[in-house]
Structure 1
Amino acid sequence: MPNLPLYRDPWAKLDAWRKSPVFQKTTVIRNLFPGFGIAVVAFTAYVIADNVYLSSHKKPEEKHH
């Protein structure tokens, strides 16, 4: 008798979709917020550019009393 499993799972084909890479937790989490990484990089670049621009173009402070 060959080394076959004694009991075969009749639902194996129906549950195969659960093992698909599309439904893995890492894939779902990575695709939960599409474009979030690009948005973080763009916002960081904007803040840095704005701070550099404002620091080089400071106006003299006027005192109003």
Structure 2
Amino acid sequence: MSNLPFRDPWAKREAWRKHPVFANRAMFANLFPGFGIALVAFSAYVVADNIYLSKRKTEVSHH
């Protein structure tokens, strides 16, 4: 037995929890992969659609 009085026998098995891959920031960044790209693409679609529809409304008049 080791001469350390409080040696943790599970330390090797628990070491993965301290790895940087499992840090809170890394976990949050990988929570929604592609969300940023999708948000930009959807915003560009909405803006383009609004511009297109506003031009079309001025060209087409009702009766």
Q: Same fold (TM over 0.5)?
A: yes
Identity percentage of aligned residues: 60
Aligned residues: 58
Query: Larger helix proportion, structure 1 or 2?
Result: 2
State the alpha-carbon separation in 2 of the partners of residues 61 and 21 from structure 1: 62
State the alpha-carbon separation in 2 of the partners of residues 27 and 60 from structure 1: 54
Query: Match of 2:48?
Result: 49
Give RMSD over aligned pairs: 1.8
Query: Match of 1:18?
Result: 17
Gaps of 5+ in 1: none
Name the amino acid aligned to 2:61. P
When the two structures are superposed, what TM-score results if normalisation uses the length of structure 1? 0.71
